Structure 1
Amino acid sequence: MTSGNNLSDKDTNILRSSLPTAHFFNRDLSWIDFNGRVLEEGLRQDLPPLDRFWYFSIFSSNFDGFFMVRVAAMKQALRAGAGPDPSGLRPEEQLSKTAEKTRSMILRQYDCLQNELFPLLAREGLELVRPDTYSITQMDYLESYFLGQVYPILTPLRIEADEKLPFISGNDLNVAFLMEPEQADGEAEDHIAIIQLPHALDRIIWLPRDTSTDSSPDGLPDSVSRTCWALLEDLVLTWGAYLFPGYRVKETMLFRINRDADFSVDEKRDEDFIEAMEEVIEGRTHSPVVRMTFSSGSHRLRDELARRLGLEEQDLYEIDGPLDLGSLMDLASARDFDSLRSKAWKVYPSAAFNEEESLWDRISQRDVMLHLPYESFDPVVRFFQDAATDPQVISIKTALYRTSGNSPVIKALEQAALNGKHVTAVVELKARFDEERNISWANRLEKAGVIVVYGLARLKVHAKISMIIRREKEGIKRYVHLSTGNYNDKTARQYDDLGLFTSREEIALDASIFFNMITGYSVISSMRKLVIAPTSLKRRVLELIDRETKRSNQEHPGKIIAKLNALADTDVVEALYRASQAGVKIVLVVRGICTLIPGVPGLSENIRVISIIGHYLEHSRIYYFSNGGAEEYYLASADWMPRNLERRVELMFPVLQEDIKVRLRKILDSYCRDNQQARELKSDASWRHLAPAQGEDLVSAQEHFLAAAAKAGGNFWTPRNEFVVRRGAPGGQ
């Protein structure tokens, strides 16, 4: 793809104002604050206990990714001698503040987990038993379980003082043992060995009901049945000495490391790109360690491992409780404990489609918007499945970034190719942590006869677009689907996203131009409706903000509402500051990172920033501009981040149909009025959890969307707090 109108250095300098760096929050500390909002949900005493545990699991899992990517990048910047970021912080300051804030949050998490949540679950009949509380019956059962099910699989690895460390994989749990010979001549020499917990073994071990009768906590009602569970690592800590006959275990420690994942493929190796990606995956498993979490109990093991792994004090996190709560997420779905979690929300069929009507006929009549996950992902799957079997369909083109392991979309594309359709799939192999999966199903597609294009050099293809081409009586007709989210049937049940079906000729023509640019050689052509990054999307966003700024006056102030996942592009932030100074009223609904500082007199007093952490992961991007009364609405795959606007292939697309515009305005209004799950950002970087004023109605945007989907689908339902599911992992892609 060749660009004819990329932003030049001169253009970029013109777009930048002379604002001092103090007018920006640090992007990484802002992300930590986002994860803090996830933590706050786990700390809420009004939520069911398993919902709270689920939030704690997500909180821990989010930090793993953050350390592997962002903290690794900070360390690289420090080694390279990089200067301050837009907030004015140097790399060493960012690392110090990151460690301080992260440590404080983890202490709050585990204080609540150990002293409140686990005791609460035990009182409700779901009890974690640890080695110091095993009953005699439990001890017998677990020792037998260890010897029969665990011991044969374990592999102890010795650590020699003068040799290289054995391989320790990132994100896996390990148990370290400090030992001495039981019989030794003269002064005994200590030895260290480690055991990695195998993936093949379940970490949660459920104990038979009758083994827990002698360890019931006081006050448990007779009506409450008891289920106890133990941790695999506790068994290894307790009976791991069986693997070291002739040695006495002096100290033990559980530990886990995060490795650097912030490095890229060699973009020049076009001739063997899959091999280059496989090298990236392999390299990630042996990259430098950026953090170690560990249990208390052995300073010698902690210090020796930290020294051998090249870690400093701020890289070490002592955990008072089970490590790696992310891998214990299944506990939140434990059977027979529905009373300890909220009821699942139903996914409703879209009222716009029915099985009797042809999908093509419906899309030909009017544009259709889907609001996931409140409405079913099924029409998107049908879009591909019907195309695969429809004799009038001659071609399918799609851009795939992330999809599920057993994707119905992939199956439909395979079937379409086998049925003789001309199928093209742009597969982005550089989707971090999904590279292996993407390589796997890209190979499957190629074997079925699909033309697979592996993205673009130096750019990630993050756009979400598909096009079906049919031969009809009137001639060739194109049907286009555009989305804010991926073609992933699993995340479509967890992430809030918006998708648009259309057969408008002007959008279909742009879609054809887009695929030609991505798969072939093409200087960027002017598009009628679609806006593409990295060539024109940032410029267009700045133009829209600037237009609103120029048209705003006291009698008719401009208005901008932007819902997105992250805001960190300095040019966009400065443009929003200028708009605020001109009187434009701005509401930003930002899930995660926000470097803009709202509420500063003379700078941003007209800007309000809120964040929604709720039942589903907020993932949609919606951009509204009042435009002097000629309102414009856009949906996009892109956030307002430098990587999205300058280093990725993204799409922003307009909503042209009036009834869909009305629907989008209601969606944005619901977010702006939320006083249940919303938090508001203040100029001192604190977040205030919003609550209804006296006499004000309770408003939960997500509950409102569910009620709207139920009503539209013919199943009227009044949302109540007992109908809640929390499965949209906050921190997704």
Structure 2
Amino acid sequence: MKKSASLFFNRELSWIEFNARVLAEASRKENPLLERLKFLSIVSSNFDEFFMVRVAGLKHQAQVNPNETDSFGLTAKEQLSLISEQVHKIFFEQHAMVKEQFFPLLEKKGIIYVPPENFSDAERNFAGNFFQEQLFSLLTPIKALTPAESTEDNELPYIANLRLYAAFLLTPIVDKKDIHPAFCPAADEKPLALVQVPASLDRIVRLPSEKKELRFTLLDDIILAFGTRLFEGYSVEQSLVFKAVCDAAFAVDEDRHEDFMEAMEEILAARRASVPIRLTCTNGSPDITKILIEKTGLSEEDIYTAGKIIDLAFLSRLADKLSDMHGFSKLRYPVWKHFYPKELVRGEAVWDVLKQRDVLLHVPYESYDPVLRFISDAADDPGVLAIKMTLYRTSGESPVIKMLERAARNGKQVTVLVELKARFDEKRNISWAQQLMHYGVIVVHGIVNLKVHAKMLLVVRRENEGIIRYVHMATGNYNEKTARLYSDMSLFTSNREIANDASAFFNMLSGYSAIQTMRRLYMAPINLKSRLLHMIEREKLHSTPETPGLIMAKMNSLADSDIIKALYEANRAGVRILLNVRGICTLVPGIRRQSENIKVISIVDRFLEHTRLFYFQNGGAEEVYLSSADWMSRNLDRRVELMFPVTQDDLFQELKDILLLYFSDNTHAHELNTDGTWTLKKPRPGEDAVRAQEALYNRYKQRADAAHKEIPRLFTVRRKEPRV
């Protein structure tokens, strides 16, 4: 990070640094080759979303409030300039790695990328036939442009977001008398034609080979090589492939719309017609690049020019294809199983287990099946009267949706808050909401001017003792697919006070209850932030030179200025503060009399670290919490989030041990420096290597192995009252 401030780092530059850490993971030679390709692909996908939302927002700000500065002291224009500079560095490094490292390494493994200029005669014949038989009828050249004209009626036609286009600069080669006047170009005119690369076909095209190797080219390569067939009477003077990233920073005017679903449809329509804010192009065609810059109104710093390939997100698809092929599995991470928690495999109904103890689930080390089983059992159990839950994001073919529909058909009262404002999942969530309503589910569409990001499921069951409520709360979404890739935690409980709070929470969300006091749960934007500030202040008051306070926190992002200032104050009181922040961190560590006792690490490994986990020493009366919320202003002030305590002794100690394990990682942890750069930690001489994710996997494996040998015994109640 080029510029530093006394209190805060710039949020956007900090996020770019996170992607530099992801790219560094791709460069680690000890990582399996196909996993390294995945990290390269993730960087490309991350930047697409970053430009659609954050950069687009800065461009709006630069027009509306050009003199406004952020906490880093930068105007929007200054931020855009620094962003372009830093992203270009990563972009060039990423593409150089592909050309100079990965393609040669893949070739040694018999995986060979073949550009059109290297086609053999057989490959050229194959590619030509492929173009003619599978592509020609799909491709439609879009309205021609000319570099000479710049009038409004010669503007660039609509460019779809994130879609690949081939651009051809053409020269007439036939006599004009053979062309109808309506189609005849003006004198000396060199039209530019655009052809959208079909997204319905796999971008990776396997070439025929008699050897035991995989030779492939790309769909866009074939279109460039044979696209001249689309333009009878013209020759192709220059060509390139480009992709536009378009503005997606739209917010719904919730006060203007009575029909919230209709309002979100408007946002989706606006996004589909938005303007480009970034172009990536293959190189070698300066005239076409110049035309695209002129017609889009972009500046030079918005253009990212690569070699022969753009949009490296395809590398993830390549890795997946190779994983399914014989002989390439050794190029992936070794398989890590997802172990079933021992507390829920004793043959007892989940209700019987939860009446006796809380159960903690840690995915992906443990299986996500208990969550699905919990919902499925609730859907079918005749004693269950009602199911209530929040849905922020879920998978495309979500079993959760099917279970909720089944529950409604079985006569349960099912209430689901579907957050329609979940960015880039709006269309899917609208579809789920409509589908659920069709089956009689009570669907709440969200809360005006707030996103509901909390993850909670409440099951109400009639039993011999009366009505019993069972609650599931999580740090991550109800998505069985991401649960195999993201590290998240959740808690199952029948604790009466938490169940009371859960009922109050859903009553508030439905809009039929005023804000209620909750005894065990903390909710943003009501009291979650104030509770965090109180606990930080409390830690400061408890801290002495002999027994310094201790705060340990794990999250995705840290950027709330009030929280950061409170941490600085705690630091001055001698409190030790250990922060595990995966992505954005605007706190500046290591500054004397401000943050010398604050250590910040970030772990990038095979699983995406997504858990929010907070520990406070509290003068010996320790507390630990899980939460859906990062320490960001958007989470604490503009979203509905939950933070919940874990008090059962064994689970409390387990969470504390996990936090300590993360801070002992010296192989995949990067430490934040005072200047905003990050340094990968390495074992010191004589120190054992510690990889937190591997240690966690081994811990759960040993637990599962021991459970198989364990003699069944009665459950004991371990839950106890919260520490105060």
Q: Matches of 1:71 and 1:378 in 2, distance apart?
A: 39
Q: Map of 1:657-696 to 2, 5 A cutoff?
A: 657-696=648-687
Q: In the alignment, is residue 94 of structure 1 matched against residue 94 of structure 2?
A: no
1:203 touches 1:328 (CA, 8 Å); kept in 2?
no
Q: Tell me the residue number matched to 2:99.
A: 114
One-letter amino acid of the structure 2 residue matched with residue 246 of structure 1: G
**Per-residue deviation at 1:137?**
1.3
Q: Which residue of 2 aligns with 1:559?
A: 550
User: In structure 1, which of residues 288, 299, 302 is the aligned counterpart of residue 289 of structure 2?
Assistant: 302
Partner of 2:309: 322
Q: Does 1:26 align with 2:22?
A: no
Q: Match of 1:80?
A: 64
Cα distance, 1:480–1:270 mapped onto 2, change above 3 Å: farther
* Alignment partner, residue 712 of structure 2: none
Which one of the candidate residues 208, 213, 231 is aligned to 1:244? 231
2-structure distance, mates of 1:455, 1:180: 55
Secondary structure class of the residue paired with 1:714 = helix
Instruction: Report what 1:728 is aligned to.
Output: none
Determine the C-alpha separation between the residues in 2 that align with 1:544 and 1:321.
54
The answer (yes or no) to whether the contact 1:295–1:323 under 8 Å persists in 2 is yes
**RCO comparison, higher one (Cα < 8 Å, 6+):** 1
User: Could you tell me which residue of structure 2 aligns to residue 277 of structure 1?
Assistant: 264
Q: Which moved more, 1:342-351 or 1:524-533?
A: 342-351
In the alignment, structure 1 residue 188 sits paired with structure 2 residue 188: yes
- Which residue is equivalent to 1:13? none
In 2: Cα distance, 1:208 partner to 1:138 partner: 7
CA distance in 2: counterparts of 1:700 and 1:184, whole angstroms: 70
CA RMSD, Structure 1 to Structure 2 (Å): 1.4
Deviation at 1:307, TM superposition (A): 1.2
1:154 paired to 2:139: yes
For 1:504, the equivalent position in structure 2 comes to 495
Deviation at 1:165, TM superposition (A): 2.7
Instruction: Tell me the residue number matched to 1:199.
Output: 199
Residues 307-326 of structure 1, C-alpha deviations (whole Å, 9 max, x = no match)? 11110111011012421111
Aligned ranges for residues 113-262 of structure 1 at < 5 Å? 113-160=98-145, 161=149, 162-184=153-175, 187-210=187-210, 225-262=212-249
Give secondary structure in 2 for the equivalent of 1:524.
coil
Contact 2:37/2:315 (8 A) holds in 1? no
SS in 1 for 2:492: strand
Match of 1:39 among 11, 23, 26: 23
1:364 to 355, 361, 365: 355
1:400 partnered with 2:391: yes
Give the Cα–Cα distance (whole angstroms) in 2 for the partners of residues 125 and 411 of structure 1. 43
Task: Say whether 1:412 aligns with 2:403.
Answer: yes
Moved more, 153-162 or 383-392: 153-162
Match status 1:437 vs 2:428 = yes
State the shift of 1:184 in Å.
Answer: 4.3
Q: Distance in 1 between matches of 2:276 and 2:532?
A: 39
Pairing of 1:51-90 with structure 2 (within 5 A) = 51-81=35-65, 82-90=67-75
Q: 1:342 aligns with which of 330, 333, 348?
A: 333
Distance in 1 between residues matched to 2:51 and 2:631, nearest whole Å: 22
Deviates more, 1:78-87 or 1:604-613: 78-87
Cα shift readout 1:75-102 (whole Å, capped 9, x = no counterpart): 1111112411001111111111100000
Shift of 1:269: 4.6
Comparing 270-279 with 459-468, greater Cα deviation is found at 270-279
Answer yes or no: is the 8 Å Cα contact 1:142–1:235 preserved in 2: yes
Alignment of 1:569-580 (within 5 A): 569-580=560-571
Change (3 A) 1:325 1:355: farther
SS at match of 1:412: helix
- Distance (Å, rounded) in 2 between the aligned partners of 1:22 and 1:666: 33
Query: d(CA) in 1 for partners of 2:159 and 2:96?
Result: 29
CA distance in 2 between counterparts of 1:485 and 1:148 reads 46
Deviation at 1:188, TM superposition (A): 3.2
Question: Shift of the alpha carbon at 1:345?
Answer: 1.6
**693-702 or 394-403, which deviates more:** 693-702
CA contact (8 A) 1:397 1:423 kept: yes
Aligned partners of 2:281, 2:619: CA distance in 1, in Å?
58
SS at match of 1:485: coil
Q: Look up the equivalent residue of 2:382 and give its one-letter code.
A: P
Counterpart contact for 2:245–2:279, Cα < 8 Å:
yes
Q: Which residue of 2 aligns with 1:478?
A: 469
Distance 1:267 1:488, change over 3 A: same
Tell me if the contact between 1:204 and 1:328 (Cα under 8 Å) persists in the aligned partners: no
Give the alignment's TM-score, normalised by structure 1: 0.92
Rounded Cα–Cα distance in structure 2 between residues aligned with 1:256 and 1:323:
8
Structure 2 residue corresponding to 1:714, chosen from 697, 702, 705: 705
Residue ranges of structure 2 left out of the alignment (5+ in a row): 177-185, 709-724
Distance 1:575 1:310 in 2: 44
- Contact 2:635-2:641 within 8 A present in 1 as well: yes
Unaligned runs of 5+ residues in structure 1 are 1-19, 214-224, 718-733
Task: Give how far 1:136 is off.
Answer: 1.2
- Secondary structure at the aligned position of 2:342 is classed as coil
1:21 shift after superposition: 5.7
Amino acid in the other structure paired with 2:86:
K
1:4 counterpart residue number: none
Aligned to 1:529: 520
The residue that corresponds to 2:368 in the other structure is 377
- Equivalent AA in structure 1 for residue 100 of structure 2: N
Alpha-carbon displacement from aligned partner over 1:119-145 (angstroms, at most 9, x marks no partner) = 110111000000121111111111111
CA deviations on 1:420-463 (whole Å, 9 max, x unpaired) are 00000000000000011101111111011100000101000000
Contact (CA 8 Å) 1:258, 1:290: kept in 2 or not?
yes
> 1:343: how far off?
2.0
* Counterpart-to-counterpart distance in 2, 1:567 and 1:320: 36
**What is the alpha-carbon distance in structure 1 between the residues aligned to residue 677 and residue 261 of structure 2?**
45
Partners of 2:283 and 2:308 within 8 A in 1: no
What do the CA deviations read for 1:560-618 (whole angstroms, capped 9, x no partner)?
00000000000000000001111000000000000000011111000000000001000
Q: Equivalent residues in 2 for 1:281-292 (5 A)?
A: 281-292=268-279
Contact 1:480 1:502 in 2 (8 A): yes
- For the residue of structure 2 that corresponds to 1:252, the secondary structure is strand
Structure 1 position 270, deviation (Å): 4.9
Q: Distance in 2 between matches of 1:184 and 1:572?
A: 73
One-letter amino acid of the structure 2 residue matched with residue 434 of structure 1: D
Q: Which residue of 2 aligns with 1:3?
A: none
Q: How many residues align?
A: 685
Letter in 1 for 2:199: H
Is the partner of 1:713 in helix, strand or coil?
helix
Deviation at 1:637, TM superposition (A): 0.2
Q: What does residue 105 of structure 1 align with?
A: 90
Task: Give the letter for the 1:108 counterpart.
Answer: E
Paired residue secondary structure (1:449): coil
Deviations 1:463-494 (A, max 9, x none): 00010000011110000000000000100111
- Structure 1: how far apart are the matches of 2:200 and 2:303? 28
**In the alignment, is the contact (CA less than 8 A) between 2:6 and 2:588 conserved in 1?**
no
| Cα drift, residue 187 of structure 1 | 4.5
Counterpart CA distance in 1 for 2:479 and 2:453 is 14
Which residue of 1 is the match for residue 539 of structure 2? Answer: 548
